[in-house]
Amino acid sequence: MAIHAVLALDRERLRTEHAQFSRLVVALTANGCRVTTLVFGPPFGNDHPADRPIGLGRVIHFPEHLAPWLRAARFQELLEEFDRDTPDLIWSAGIDCWAITARLAKAIKRPMIVQVDGQLEVKRARKLGRLIQVAGFIASTEPIA
């Protein structure tokens, strides 16, 4: 049985590191994983290579800015999307998507892995670790780790 991973990326992280994430998804897929990429932000356009999600597996868009009365309904749609095919883990990269992915991980009772790439993210990751059980942190450099 293949592992199903959700790779959650905020718009800024996808735009700056799209090639790296595409290679990661291709490598995971080649090793038998199924990857769903959850992208936070507006729908794709054509002004940047990251706006054409080639090599990111199945892509699900989640609006970055929603009116408060629409958030619960959109989150419920996201849960229903994963209801038939529950992921085994959630990899969250980018501060802007941590709140939703933490809520998602708690709702589907799956581990969440958080990627931190800077001092601001390290400070916020400490607070996140107190709110939800994080399975692990991935740091880009030794000082950040």
pTM of the model: 0.80
Q: Of 29-33, 82-86, 135-139, which gets the smallest average pLDDT?
A: 135-139
Band of the pLDDT at 135, cuts 50, 70, 90? Answer: confident
pLDDT at 114: 84
Q: How far apart are CA 97 and CA 14, in angstroms?
A: 12
Query: Is 80 exceeded by the pLDDT of residue 93?
Result: yes
pLDDT at 117: 79
- Three-state DSSP class for 60? strand
The per-type count for the chain, helices as H runs and strands as E runs, is 4, 6
Query: Is 80 exceeded by the pLDDT of residue 85?
Result: yes
Q: How far apart are CA 114 and CA 29, in angstroms?
A: 20
